[in-house]
Structure 1
Amino acid sequence: MAVIITMIYYFVFLFLYLSDVISGVSFVVILLLSLIILSTVLIMYWKKRAIKRKFMLITSLMALLFCYEMPLLFYDANTHAVYRYIDPLEIYKGSGIYLLGVNRVDFQFTENKKAVIDLLNKQQMDYLNITKINNSDRYGSKNRQILKWFHLGKSDVDQMRDNVKQFLGQEDGRINEFLNSETIEGSSAGLGLALTGLIMRDDLQNDLKIAVTGAISETGDVLPIGILKEKMQIAEKAGFSLMIIPSANRKEAMEIQKKLNIKIKILDVAQLDEAVLLINELNGKSK
């Protein structure tokens, strides 16, 4: 029962944190004070075996929760994310398949969007979009970093590598070279890499210039991606007339296209095989 109460107590404050009611520092301090109080009670009742056993358990649990959440102290400083232009990348020259990436720069201790814009103007930095970082974003970043520290689970990049390999049936040196870059994050290049791999081994021909974004699953499903607005802006700025996206992002893409008056022809696919058929149709070919 004591463990259940402790977890409810923890989740109440976690909910308040994720709802942006309290800061990461406040959340961690609350856990620390709770740990101190429990430790004090444990010392006071050390000679009473029944109480000691109960408080040792919940004190140990609170200590684990505190250690797990303590890295949040280093994430509170990040207040705004700035998204900047990156040239679309064709990893196999002549493939016509261009991967879309976005440069993200986190700004610390900035009060509002105007303060960020002033800093960007002083540094003469162009940007596509500025977003406020909320506690949910910070919490996700913290959890991903912990998984990375302890090598638990696959990173998005490693999962993308496996899924592309699964679809192509083999590894490719140029694709691996791209994935080994320290600047690569996320999984939204999966669709473009799989199509590029097919072109490199002559299983697909493409004479057009196409911007491509989309993650893929092991079975070839095309999965939704984030930062779509900025990727569409980059594709337009780079002069593309065609852009392939996941079908799951179609509604969002149509809204962005209307709002920003983007002239690119947006094509959506739900399966890798569907993307292959689409490229063949665009090139006036049938397989």
Structure 2
Amino acid sequence: MASLNAGPEYYAAEGRYAVAKTPGDKLEALEEMLRFCPKHKGSQSIIADIHNKMARVRKEQAREEAVKKARKGGGGDFIRKQGAAQVAILGFANTGKSFLLNTLTRAHAHSTPAPFETLSLLPGMMEYKGVQIQLLDTPSIHPGNKSMIFSIARNADLVLILFNDESEKHFYEGMKAKRLLFATSREDAAALKQRIYDSLGLIRVFTRNPKTGKADDKPVALFKEARTVSDAARQIHKDFASATARVWGSTKFAGQQVRGTYQLEDGDLLELQIR
């Protein structure tokens, strides 16, 4: 830096930028660096670098503000859950979160090699074995937004963490999640879909029309820890929670009458009997 010939104010601002944690503190330090940076031919590349850093920090700020607005509008859950389960995709910049969302769903998240392109939560629906699963592309995680991203993770049914290097996993120590899955964007999409589905621990139950005897080909998806007849009935309609049922598949006899506490298995055929 000797060729820069800058004064102590510049180096003091540079030091503040190096230890800044929030986008606001970073931007303030960068603005001071720009103000005190000498303007001559030898400093042109340094000035350009400062401008580039300021642009990235402003994107960070915009992202933080967008997520805060989404949080206020979503009652603390950020994005209302749709489908059988919600999966939050976490990762550092350039781990391929947006690309993965586009690959596994029909979402059109903006995906470029530039860091911090995702400014807010972006949802998309992934279908697997007839089950709709909501994926959330989150802003790239960093120390300044760690607590906010961890809060998103805590509300999701599964947290999918994308990483480029094994050392990145240490950053997530202490995060609370119902279910956790690590992966890289280089994994085969079909295989990763199955890993997501298996990690959620879902079972599929198909309903049968008591009048026609026909089965619906669209399954009711249940978590394995909440898979009673009453759980299935409640998911179909809140007024059906007290229903009894006939079940084909896991019962001893086909069409056996069961109570609401009966534990269903994957692939069961369920006929609700409303009292």
When normalised by structure 2's length, the TM-score is 0.37
More helix by share: 1
Query: Which structure's relative contact order is higher, taking Cα pairs within 8 Å and 6+ residues apart?
Result: 1
More strand by share: 2
When normalised by structure 1's length, the TM-score is 0.36
Instruction: Pick the structure with greater CA Rg.
Output: 2
